[in-house]
Amino acid sequence: MSGQVTSTIPPDHRRAMKIALVGDWFLPRLGGIELQTRDLALELMAEGHLVEVITGVPGPDAVDGIKVIRLPGPRLIGAGIAVTPGVFKALHGSIRAGGYDVIHAHFGIITPIAHDALRFAAAHRIPAVATFHSVLRYYDLPLKLLDRTLGYSGWPVRYVGVSSVTAEAMRPLVGDHDIAVIPNGIDLAWWRRPAGAIRPDRAATRPVAFVTVMRLEKRKRARALIAAFADAMTGLAAGAAELTVIGDGGERPALERIVERRGLSGQIRFLGSRGRPEIRDILHRSDVFALASRLEAFGIAALEARAAGLPVVTLKASGARDFLRHDGDSLLAGDDAELSRQIRSLIVDPALRGRLAQGAEASPEGVDWTSVGPRYLAEYRAAIRDAAV
């Protein structure tokens, strides 16, 4: 999202509501859930709705014009997760005082504030929507126990997964409850390369420019991507390809040491965190977007790259498969070895790169805010109807 929000929601959905977006993570902490929550708030506010964010992350009481209620209390050292009763008492007080028409809770892997907000809303018959932004695969038994303990599958809540992969993994928690699949939203027009703009030089002497954007944490598997790229470069000239890594996190020092040990310091560079305008400019100058996340719930960075007209190479287990077409605008690998082979193919086969780039010129469908905004408003209104029964 560029920050300039235009009206996208149909007139029959425009009765103003007061909405609380509740989650453990929000700006200034930087990540996919944080930015997606911010963008959704701006989209809803542009339509005249009153939106407040309730979060456990310390910071200012307003972000980009959005009111933010910061829950007080200590956090688990090193993780920032709320664990003390005072945090949840403050959460309940904020919800009671807010007079919200609907509570929209945003879930990651370990998000006790979101869980407690949903439990509180269900207990007090407050209309509620729950969006799961992470893949809960391999958590089947804990999720079943959580449902048995708290009763998720029986709550009058509208459940949403950001991809088909996420929705499938939610099933042990919500039982037979309906799950809507609503993708993360972006501003397609803002990310798209301007019409008539010159694409990067395709001269044979120019390195093929790969780029990735991610938090440098173990879950994102940056090590696997670097290994796949390094293996793909085996036997090729040092100038055949380069990989730009955008993002920061606890893994960065170890990743930089790995790159140095493998003799790839000239081919792999780390830029750290960058703002959206700079990321967009780098995407427009690149050839291929690469990602090795296996448990990627959606892949917002991959979607932004696709919107910018880049072909994507990633794992088919990722939620990004919902908006990518294998061999049309992307290559989807079954495992890390195949990912490496696909990266090598994209380096040595300019015709393949060209064909996928041509496929990537078409905008992905259903992910612009013109589609995502109305779908969430429909869920809010359905939640209000459900709570009235």
pLDDT digits (tens, 9 = 90+) for 363-389: 899 999 999 999 999 999 999 998 887
Q: How far is CA 311 from CA 100, 192, 235, 267, 288, in A?
A: 42, 13, 24, 20, 5
109, pLDDT greater than 90: no
Given this model, what pLDDT does residue 218 score? Answer: 93
Indicate if the pLDDT at residue 8 is higher than 70: no
Query: Residue ranges of the alpha helices (H) in the chain?
Result: 32-46, 85-98, 112-123, 140-150, 164-174, 188-191, 222-232, 252-261, 276-284, 300-307, 336-348, 350-360, 369-388
Residue 385 in tokens: 């109807």
Percent of the chain with pLDDT over 70: 93
The reported pTM is 0.89
> Whole-angstrom Cα distance, residue 305 to residue 301?
6
Using CA atoms, how far residue 200 sits from 205, 345, 354, in Å, is: 13, 19, 12
Question: Coil, strand, or helix at residue 319?
Answer: helix
Would you state the structure tokens that stand for residue 230, as one six-digit string?
Answer: 């390094």
pLDDT at 373: 96
Burial class (CB in 10 A: 0-12, 13-18, 19+), 16: exposed
What domains are defined for the chain? 11-186+368-388 (3.40.50.2000), 188-360 (3.40.50.2000)
Strand ranges of the sheet holding 288-290, from the earlier edge strand across to the other edge = 268-272, 241-246, 208-213, 288-290, 312-315, 330-333
Provide the percentage of residues in the chain whose pLDDT is more than 90. Answer: 79
Bridge partner list, 106: 23, 131
Beta pairing partners, 92: none
116-160: pLDDT as tens digits: 999 999 999 999 999 999 987 667 777 888 888 888 888 999 999
* 183 and 322 Cβ atoms separated by less than 8 Å: yes
State yes or no: pLDDT of 103 exceeds 90.
yes
Identify the CA nearest to 313 among candidates 328, 280, 291, 283: 291
Look up tokens 């496929």; give the residue: 359
Give the model's pLDDT for residue 10.
46
How far is residue 272's CA from residue 158's CA, in Å, rounded to a whole number?
37
Q: How far apart are the first and last CA of the chain?
A: 37
SS3 343: helix
Tell me the three state secondary structure of residue 156: coil
Alpha-carbon distance of 262 to 21, in angstroms, equals: 45
What is the rounded (10 degree) CA torsion for 70, 72, 77, 79? -30
Instruction: Share the mean pLDDT of the chain.
Output: 91
Q: In terms of residues, how long is the chain?
A: 389
pLDDT of residue 311: 97
Q: 117-126: long-range contacts at Cβ-Cβ below 8 A with a sequence spacing of 24 or more?
A: 117/22, 117/54, 117/91, 118/152, 118/155, 118/157, 119/150, 120/91, 120/92, 120/95, 121/95, 121/157, 122/151, 122/155, 122/156, 122/157, 125/156, 125/387, 126/95, 126/100, 126/102, 126/387
Residue 227, token pair as written in the block: 């290994």
In the three-class reduction of DSSP (H, G, I as helix; E, B as strand; rest coil), residue 219 is classed as: helix
Query: What would the two tokens of residue 322 be?
Result: 């919902």
Helix (H) or strand (E) holding 290: strand 288-290
Is residue 75 predicted with pLDDT exceeding 80? no
**What does the pLDDT look like over 300-315, one tens digit per residue?**
999 999 999 999 999 9
Bridge partners of 129, per DSSP, are: 104, 158
